[in-house]
């Protein structure tokens, strides 16, 4: 299991929204992301297509960077009418999923090993089916020069937001939430940012941060 001992709050020398986020987001709107899609992501995507078709569902929820896939199973139990796909690139984390599958009563989901960078591009033909895109506790990359590793600084940010009418980010770093919401607004999206209340953890990192007394932030972005 993931270590649930005290976790330190995110520390960064950055004190406000990154000075380059606006120029980065604008630059990425006029460039194309051409990184080839590797076979392991393509195979995972084929498995998603097979299982989604077999599920008979008409609605999809995407749980990007799902870690052990605990949130994926919780989302599936909560949204019974949807098929939920959890994606993470860590075989190690996904290897711990079985415990959640046994503990949480849901079968309308799959967790797959793939790179989110590939999966969000492969999902393009399914846009009409996708109701929600969840990104829970992405790695914060607090060093200012790692801004492009944060999802809102990534060339695929627009593609990620375009995936669903609703995108929900959760993070324990206020600045990440503020930057994400700001970057979304630059692309014409409206967003609501709030501190989470009465947290009932649905993922390993949510549980760890909550148990450590961190304030948890939620940003809900709506497609125009």
Residues near ligand SAM (CB under 6 A) are 65-67, 71, 87-90, 93, 115-117, 136-139, 203-206
Smallest CA-to-CA distance from 93 within 74, 70, 67, 117 is with 67
Minimum CB–partner distance for residue 108 and ligand SAM (Å): 19
Our CB check for ligand SAM shows the closer of 169 and 188 to be 169
Minimum CB–partner distance for residue 7 and ligand SAM (Å): 10
Query: What backbone torsions phi and psi does residue 17 show, to the nearest 5 degrees?
Result: -55, 135
3-state DSSP call for residue 165?
coil
CA–CA gap between residue 59 and residue 34 (Å, rounded)? 28
Determine how many CB atoms are found less than 10 A away from the CB of residue 10.
16
Q: Which residue is nearest to ligand SAM (CB)?
A: 67
Minimum CB–partner distance for residue 93 and ligand SAM (Å): 5
- Beta strand 217-222 with 190-195 is antiparallel
Minimum CB–partner distance for residue 130 and ligand SAM (Å): 17
Our CB check for ligand SAM shows the closer of 198 and 224 to be 198
Smallest CA-to-CA distance from 64 within 142, 24, 123 is with 123
Smallest CA-to-CA distance from 65 within 187, 168, 178 is with 168
How much is the CA Rg of the chain, to the nearest whole Å?
Answer: 17
Angle at which helix 21-29 crosses helix 174-186, to 10 degrees, equals 40
The length of the chain in residues reads: 224
Our CB check for ligand SAM shows the closer of 88 and 179 to be 88
Minimum CB–partner distance for residue 136 and ligand SAM (Å): 4
Minimum CB–partner distance for residue 128 and ligand SAM (Å): 24
Our CB check for ligand SAM shows the closer of 89 and 97 to be 89
Looking at residue 36, the DSSP 8-state letter turns out to be: P
Our CB check for ligand SAM shows the closer of 95 and 188 to be 95
C-alpha distance across the termini of the chain, in Å: 39
Our CB check for ligand SAM shows the closer of 52 and 88 to be 88
Our CB check for ligand SAM shows the closer of 52 and 136 to be 136
Minimum CB–partner distance for residue 24 and ligand SAM (Å): 17
Query: What backbone torsions phi and psi does residue 168 show, to the nearest 5 degrees?
Result: -120, 120
């Amino acid at each position: 299991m993931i270590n649930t001992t005290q976790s330190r709050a995110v520390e960064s020398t950055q004190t406000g929204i990154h000075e380059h986020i606006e120029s980065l987001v604008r630059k990425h709107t006029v460039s194309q992301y051409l990184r080839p899609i590797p076979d392991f992501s393509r195979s995972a995507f084929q498995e998603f297509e097979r299982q989604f078709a077999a599920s008979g569902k008409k609605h999809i929820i995407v749980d990007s960077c799902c870690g052990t896939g605990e949130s994926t199973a919780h989302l599936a139990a909560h949204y019974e009418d949807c098929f939920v796909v959890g994606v993470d690139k860590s075989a190690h984390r996904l290897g711990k999923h079985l415990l959640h599958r046994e503990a949480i009563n849901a079968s309308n989901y799959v967790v797959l090993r793939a790179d989110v960078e590939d999966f969000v591009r492969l999902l393009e033909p399914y846009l009409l089916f996708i109701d929600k895109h969840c990104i829970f506790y992405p790695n914060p990359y607090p060093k200012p020069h790692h801004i492009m590793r944060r999802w809102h600084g990534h060339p695929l940010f627009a593609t990620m937001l375009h995936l669903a009418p609703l995108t929900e980010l959760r993070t324990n770093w206020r600045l990440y939430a503020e930057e994400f919401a700001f970057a979304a607004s630059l692309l014409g999206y409206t967003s609501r940012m709030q501190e989470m209340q009465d947290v009932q953890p649905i993922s390993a990192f949510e549980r760890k941060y909550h148990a450590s007394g961190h304030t948890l932030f939620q940003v809900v972005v709506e497609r125009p």
